[in-house]
Amino acid sequence: MIQPFGDILWNWNVKHPCIETLKLHPNVVKLVSEGKSYYLKKREDSAFENRMEEYYLTTYLLANRLNVESPLLTISHQPFVKKGQQFYSLYEKIEGEPLQEYSLSYLTNAGTSLANLHGLLKNYHCHKEIKGWHIDQHIRQWLNELGLTPIGKWARDILLRLDEWTILYNQLPYQLIHSDYNRGNIMVKEGVVSGIIDFERIRVAPRVADIGYFLTGMLKDRIKKNREDSINYIGSFLRGYDQLSTLTSEEKELLPLLIVTFLLQYVFFYHQCGYSEVGSTYISFINELVQSSEYDHAFHV
């Protein structure tokens, strides 16, 4: 929890705020002052260069008419306050609410918004070196830890079927991406995306990493729901993306493999935490996907 508040908020001249702690986000508090809503976020394991890069990037996106969450400047014209080893940034709330329910129209709009973001990020010149998103390395680390356990053997068998994905992935052009594009970071108002938030985790990777990450989250949220609807939702999101930036055949070939790879990481995580029943649900789901022709077809819209 972020505290105390007073000696932090005075840096932005925020007066008499009404403060609400968010249970799901212990490093974020919502506050209302003089009719405006804000979010105060504590950035752990950060650095001065990271905080400045977020400000430069989001300022660039706003200047190019993409509505994003951008840190407000303090009275000393800094986009953060540092207390000890922690950084704090204040953001004015973007109109709308996080995407709650998936629908064909919402997903089309979310796909178009991501394509717009990617187009702008491709032309942005970073002020510091940005880390790459090496998804294959994460998988190898998990597999090394699992060894010859039943789940480890099963995962290796799945990955043998997907062996070509790392070659395809590394051949694609790399660029700056959001790397946390999920429904909680997509603001929606009156049926359309009103803004994108949380640029804390920007990384360098092929743009399909963002697309695969979002679609994995959508499938994860709907793991116990109608499969046919989920397949249709994939197509709707990709059609929205293609409205602004057409995906290549190589990218479309990679996406279903990349999503299965992301889902494998959930299996490993739940296994490590001792949630065997949840992990078994994901195992069944992954087995179903890799054998489904409808799943592969969804990416060739």
Q: Give the mean pLDDT of 208-237.
A: 94
CATH number of the domain to which 180 belongs: 3.90.1200.10
196: its two tokens? 């994108």
Q: Which residues contact 24 (CB under 8 A, 6 or more apart)?
A: none
Residue 147, pLDDT above cutoff 80? yes
Closest by CA to 158, choosing from 256, 13, 230, 86, is: 256
Last residue of a domain, which of 50, 70, 93? 93
Note the pLDDT of residue 215.
98
| pLDDT reading at 1 higher than 50 | no
* Non-local CB neighbours of 99 within 8 Å, separated by 6+ positions: 106, 110, 183, 184, 186, 187, 188, 193
What distance in Å separates the CA atoms of residue 91 and residue 71, rounded to the nearest whole number? 5
Distance CA 212, CA 202 (A): 15
Same domain membership, residue 49 and residue 185:
no
In a domain, 222, yes or no: yes
Task: Tell me if 98 is assigned to some domain.
Answer: no
In a domain, 177, yes or no: yes
- Shared-domain flag, residues 114 and 245: yes
Judged against a pLDDT cut of 80, whether residue 116 lies above it is answered with yes
Write down which residue in 93, 112, 128 finishes a domain.
93
Q: How many independent structural domains does the chain possess?
A: 2
Q: What is the mean pLDDT of residues 36-63?
A: 94
Please tell me the distance from the alpha carbon of residue 200 to that of residue 10, in angstroms, as a whole number: 23
Overall pTM > 0.85: yes
pLDDT of 154 > 50? The answer is: yes
What average pLDDT does the segment 196-203 reach? 95
Residue 216 DSSP one-character state:
H
For residues 65 and 150, state if they share a domain.
no
Domain boundary among 54, 72, 93: 93
Q: Range of 28's domain? A: 6-93
One domain for residues 111 and 258: yes
The confidence score (pLDDT) of residue 77 equals: 96
166 belongs to a structural domain: yes
Task: Read off the pLDDT band of 138 (50, 70, 90).
Answer: confident
Q: How far is CA 162 from CA 167, 170, 201, 238, 257, in A?
A: 10, 14, 27, 21, 6
